[in-house]
Structure 1
Amino acid sequence: MQKNERYIWIGAGALAISFFALVAFSPVAVAQSGVTDSEEYLKTFREVFRFIEENFVEEVDPKTLYEGALKGMFDTLDDPYSYFLDIDGMESLTDITTGNFGGVGLVISKQTKSSVPDYDDDTLLYIEVVSPIEGTPAYRAGINAGDLIIKIGAESTEDLTIDEVVGRLRGVPGTEVQVTVLRGKKTEMAVSIVRDIIEVPTVKAAMIDSDIAYLKISQFTPFTDDRVRDAIADFERTGYNALVIDVRNNPGGRLSSVIDTADMFLESGTIVSTRSRVPRENDIFTATKRVLVPKNVPIAVLINKGSASASEILAGALRDNARAMIIGQTSYGKGSVQQVREIGDGGFKLTTSRYYTPSGLNIDKIGIEPDTVVEDDPLTDDEQAVIDSITEDNLVSEFLRLNPDPSDNQIDEFIDSLQNDGLILEDRIIKRLINTEVNRTNNNPPVFDLEFDIILKEAVDVLQRMTSGIIRTGIGM
């Protein structure tokens, strides 16, 4: 793992380590007034450590005491992105940043008291799914962004760290792990996921029509900016007049990668800045005039609640520099930067600074607000309850098992059977459930889907009006 590189990921799951901005750790300067107290605390700690080791009724492994103490220190910070990493956690982090690892393919974060609205003493803190990685076992199993992992097997995740969840979700490819998720406030679902080697996709590209190019960025790995550059070159050869950049369910990644990517769309201006109480962590990253996409090509950036960290940096940079309009849903809201230090076989991650968009906004726990809000498919509570029942009973999966390539008549018969069982939804909603399940299980799903993707349809509609001259202004406003 490179030691002088920053990353800004949102926890990686299945695998899942939360992997946000990483750099080599260097000691933080301590105010002179606190040195004496710190030294006294360390002295007391050593005395207690030694006393426990020598006097506890049973023999104690010093490493167990040491790791337990470190975990306790990080727990007191109430920061989901600062925590101790054992040897497995460090190995997972290295695997993730190289873009190839084993697991089930989830991006996760640990809930904290400060991250849960209306937290009280009765609130249980679980592992939250930020997003499933497209094409992975968890994605195909139907895990959604926003789901809470409340059990792995029969074990509650309430008292587990992300590091411990990693160890339970990872395993030999081909083996199975059962995960219980809480969707919404009431619906619990047990899902069996078969582990596999996870190869992280970074970029997919295609032409939507003769004018509009589509660029989907799944994560910002060391190779993402090169893949984006290649895609833009392909668009240039084909010819295009507008661009959609899709960073929905993009959990983040390498800071240098997202900066280089943003630089391809900006002629000038700030991309992102970092601020800290430690002066050396303060930095401003600006465009370097290496722009590849002409300024007269309008851009729409798609975001949702699974867009975090580096993807939020890209969206914020293009919006605040009036280079793109943002369409979709409010993003996740991860605006802090972490450092990683290796110690012994393990290490730790610590939040050391926060990042700010060019307008000076820190989006931590707030997110990027889109210029045009489009929900995936607004549902009533009653409709969501019916969908939960259909999902929990695997009715769509069973229908597709019996009808791998269903005809319109077979779909109509399926809709009728659901209605006969009291599961009443509009035809379009059921057809979308079927389409989503087909894409989940397809080893080569389409790059985009204009029929059912209403956020993408909105972006295409806006860009078509812009390129035809109906809309002339408003980007980033």
Structure 2
Amino acid sequence: MKLKPVLLIMATVLAVFISFSALSNPVLTAESQTENTQEYLNMFNFLFRYVQDNYVEEIDPETLYMGAIKGLFESLDDPYSVYLTKNDMRLLRNTTTGRFGGVGLIISKPDPSLELEPTPRRPYPQYVEVVSPIEGAPAYRAGIHAGDHITAVEGESTEELTLDEVVDKLKGPPGTEVKVKILRRDSISFDVTITRAIIEVPTIKQDMIGTIAYLRIVDWTPYTDDRVREAFDFFEERGYRSIIVDVRGNPGGLLDSVVDVADLFLDSGTIVSTRSRIPSENKRFTADSSTEIPETVPVIVLVDKGSASASEIFAGAMKDSGRGYLIGETTYGKGSVQWVREFGETGFKLTIARYYTPAGISVDEVGVEPDLGIPPEELSEEEQASLQQIFENNTIVSFVEENPREDPEKVDAFIDRLRNQGISLDERDIRFLVRSEYNRRMDFPPVYDLEFDKVLQRAVEMLESGEVR
């Protein structure tokens, strides 16, 4: 196809949960200061007073202090460590408390002031990257994909906007609309209008594929462990013999949640560890000896570039322990933990730890490599132009609206009509777009689609043939 401390570790989401606390600890100790610290502070105080007293125009002291503080965080060259203005803190509180309408996107964007250069992992650092759309949410139903970039919101470029400012623009009363411009596959650009709604995230979905237990973990919440246990009661009643755990598009969540679920599969060893300069944040989470799922049951884990943070912990633990075989794409590469601290009416977000897989590997900025890589196939320039035309003209949406029920004969006629109009997309790609549009309109779409999901197809083949055992 071409197309128990509670730590929250996930890419920024339109409904995040962040713990705010006063700036009380960890306190700086004499041991943590270099011999030159006082010298640097004296230098800053001298420069501050000199500029304030001698600059050609009178300048507000707050402006100088705020500029210096922002510069301090910018010097870290870390997109996740940033100073938060009074307005930034307001946006964070609005996002993390109360009930609001959103579009259901997990998004990421470095601070614009960092002016990061493009890299293969982050080709468009100036724009907002879609880590993953929340399944069933408005953005998902509108056809937004993991890996898309939001270049504008309501006609305003996202280049100079902070992540929190973009979040604020995407939020709004349920039932209202927001227009975004999407960049896909480097050259396909199109507008999408999304109707906001209250976002509710199901933590898991499950079904049987023959004798294979298919478990899709959508999010890592306080309830995921309980829901997974209930799912395995469902699987046991149906005589499952092997397992596929699908964490594609799962942006992360609670550390305790992923540790508890991984512990169901593992009977010993490290699940994940965190390393920090703060002694209390150096932790090692291990599996206990009472595994819930027999070691004789083969497990395949499906991953993609939308699998981030807690999902990477699960994937790394299953891979390094040899308990699970990974198929799909390299994961997102978010392997750090941040604290958010209030500082008067302002605040800051600071990376205080990185997490490591059982093999001692940090996934930060590199991700977890699958055992079997199945990347999406590339489109030719002609095919990209056809796809651009389809998106711009709302071709698929219009067809589905005119034909509310999926009819194979009407789909065949639709494909013939597109061929006559010069659309060069592969027939299978067009059928996939049509099927996806029908699924997005369902209140309860199918848990899986074996016809078009080539990664799932390969996993099923490997389990049924005994290639993974």
Note the 1:174-185 alignment, pairs <5 A: 174-185=175-186
**Structure 1 SS opposite 2:35:** helix
Which range moved further: 348-357 or 85-94? Answer: 85-94
CA contact (8 A) 1:301 1:315 kept: yes
Q: Is the 2:340–2:350 Cα contact (8 Å) retained in structure 1? A: yes
Partner Cα separation in structure 2 for residue 221 and residue 166 of structure 1: 21
Q: In structure 2, how many angstroms separate the alpha carbons of the residues matched to 1:45 and 1:195?
A: 49
The secondary structure found in structure 2 opposite 1:199 is coil
Q: Structure 1 CA distance, aligned partners of 2:12 and 2:229?
A: 26
Task: Decide whether the 8 Å contact of 1:21 with 1:338 is kept in 2.
Answer: no
TM-score, structure 1 normalization? 0.86
Whether the 8 Å CA contact 2:249–2:307 is kept in 1: the answer is yes
Q: 2:89 aligns with which of 83, 86, 98?
A: 86
Are positions 1:108 and 2:110 aligned together? no
**1:230 counterpart = 2:233:** no
1:32 to 14, 34, 37: 34
- Is 2:220–2:258's contact at 8 Å kept on the other side of the alignment? yes
Closer, same or farther: CA 430–45 of 1 in aligned 2, 3 Å? farther
C-alpha contact 1:376 1:454 (8 A) present in aligned 2? no
Hey, what does 2:246 align to over in structure 1?
246
Alpha-carbon distance, 1:45 to partner: 8.6
Q: Matches of 1:119 and 1:262 in 2, distance apart?
A: 27
Residues 147 and 183 of structure 1 are in contact (CA less than 8 Å); yes or no, is this contact kept in structure 2? yes
Say whether residues 1:7 and 2:17 are aligned partners: no
What is the SS of the residue equivalent to 1:353? strand
Is 1:331 the equivalent of 2:331? yes
Structure 2: distance between partners of 1:61 and 1:448: 59
Q: How far did residue 113 of structure 1 move?
A: 5.0
Gap change, CA 1:169 and 1:50, over 3 Å in 2: farther
3-state SS of paired residue (1:456): helix
In the alignment, structure 1 segments of 5+ residues that lack a partner are none
Q: CA deviation at 1:279?
A: 3.4
Structure 1 388/348 Cα, relative in aligned 2: closer, same or farther at 3 Å? same
Decide whether the 8 Å contact of 1:21 with 1:254 is kept in 2. Answer: no
Q: How far apart in 1 are the matches of 2:65 and 2:193?
A: 35
Q: Which runs of 5+ in 2 are unaligned?
A: none
SS at match of 1:32: coil
Aligned 1:50-89 pairs, distance under 5 A: 71-83=70-82, 84=84, 85-89=88-92
Corresponding residue SS for 1:354? strand
Q: Which residue of structure 1 aligns with residue 148 of structure 2?
A: 147
- Name the CA shift for 1:407/1:267 in 2 (closer, same or farther; >3 Å): same
Letter in 1 for 2:288: T
Deviation of residue 384 (structure 1)?
A: 3.3
* Greater alpha carbon shift after TM alignment, 43-52 vs 153-162: 43-52
Contact 1:152 1:180 in 2 (8 A): yes
Matched, 1:275 2:275: yes
Aligned counterparts of 1:119 and 1:234: Cα–Cα separation in 2: 39
**Aligned amino acid, residue 80 of structure 1:** P
Q: 1:472 to 1:213 in 2, by over 3 A?
A: closer
- Counterpart-to-counterpart distance in 1, 2:124 and 2:323: 42
Aligned to 2:214: 214
| Alpha-carbon offset, residue 151 of structure 1 | 0.9
Q: Indicate conservation of the 8 Å contact 2:91/2:165, yes or no.
A: no
CA distance in 1 between partners of 2:265 and 2:53 (Å): 60
Distance in 2 separating the partners of 1:23 and 1:321? 36
Q: Alignment RMSD, CA only?
A: 3.1
- The C-alpha deviation readout for 1:49-88, integer Å capped at 9, x for no partner, is 9889xx858xx796x8877765554344332222324122
Q: Per the alignment, do residues 189 and 226 of structure 1 end up closer, same or farther by CA in structure 2, a change over 3 Å counting?
A: same
Give CA-to-partner distance per residue, 1:225-247, whole Å, 9 cap, x none: 22112212222233211111100
- Number of equivalences: 453
Q: Is the 8 A contact 1:22 1:337 kept in 2?
A: no
> Percentage identity across aligned positions?
48
Deviations 1:151-203 (A, max 9, x none): 11121111111111111111111111111121122222111111111112211
Match of residue 363 from structure 1:
363
1:281 Cα deviation from its structure 2 partner: 2.4
Cα pair distance change 1:114/1:189, threshold 3 Å:
same
Contact persistence 1:137–1:193 (CA under 8 A): yes
Structure 1 residue 115 displacement after superposition: 6.8
